[in-house]
Amino acid sequence: MNIYKPVGVTSTRVVERIRSILKTKAGHTGTLDPFARGVILVCWGKATRFASFFQGLDKVYRAWIRFGMTTNTYDVYGKIEKWHSGSLEKEQLLPVLAKYHGKLTQRIPCFSASKYKGKPLYQYARQDISVPVMSKEIEIYSIEVLQWEEGEFGSIELRIHCTSGTYIRSLAFELGEETGLGAYLFSLCRERVGNFSLSESIDVFRPGIEPERLLRKSLSVDQALYWIPSLSLNEEETRRFRQGNAVSYSHFLTESWMKVYHQNVFLGLGKMTYSGVLQPKIVIG
């Protein structure tokens, strides 16, 4: 399900809400910070077995960044660490934004769920324990400037298309460092995850929402896995696949995941090898 997460609600609370409505197991495919709003994908029932396949989808964010101060969390919920003097000017920031395109190494916020020695970084941060600065590889496909507010304590509104795992909070912090003005993420909206858009998302916290509405708005898992190619098996191949046995399929000589069907019935996912062998990985039909 493509769900709308409101501001002030945790991703876990969204999942709990869906569980209470549908009376079944459910799990999200990637968190969205409590102060942010927007698209979060939730798998329920048998589809929870496929949740990991959605975690790597690209994201589109709409971000509001304010300059003139920094916070310890890099966002509006954090404690102010430093005030900065100076005026935000377009001519100053445009060359900086141009650097943030393509593959980059990004600093991981100290208040995050990323782990150091088996513990989330936020646990160290809350106890004021210093840990080495951690980073990760990301890719920003595009940054579009939507609005400007120049001058002291200026702001900028951006639309950012990026890989999964990109910290927009870190981007705000780094823009503040590059300009010398300091900056923090004031507001964030996730407008898209893969092909799942904000305009099609469902607000499960609306009063009176019924299970039937969620069922109507749910996609079958094979529909949701739109980027994975399909493969149809005959009777004997289907029997072997359902039993968890490998199937020889010389029509494909490339390594990839495959959605497997028999007579238009979705059987699950298999992994095709370069030698033309289909290995069953998740069998549901």
- Give the residue numbers annotated as catalytic, written as ranges: 33
Please, what is the angle between helix 90-99 and helix 168-179, to 10°? Answer: 130
Say if strands 256-262 and 102-107 run parallel, antiparallel, or are unpaired.
Answer: unpaired
As a whole number of angstroms, the distance between CA 177 and CA 69 comes to 10
Token duo for residue 89: 């000017």
Residue 66 DSSP code: E
Question: What six digits make up the tokens of 23?
Answer: 């009376």
Structure tokens at 150: 């120049």
CA angle, residues 222, 228, 231, in degrees to nearest 5: 80
| Helical segments of the chain, H only | 11-22, 90-99, 121-126, 168-179, 211-217, 221-224, 235-242
| DSSP percent split of the chain into helix, strand, coil, nearest 5 | 25, 40, 35
| Nearest to 148, CA basis, from 191, 91, 188, 83 | 91
CA–CA distance from 1 to each of 34, 193, 194, 265 (Å)?
A: 19, 12, 13, 21
- By CB atoms closer than 10 A (0-12, 13-18, 19+), residue 85 is exposed
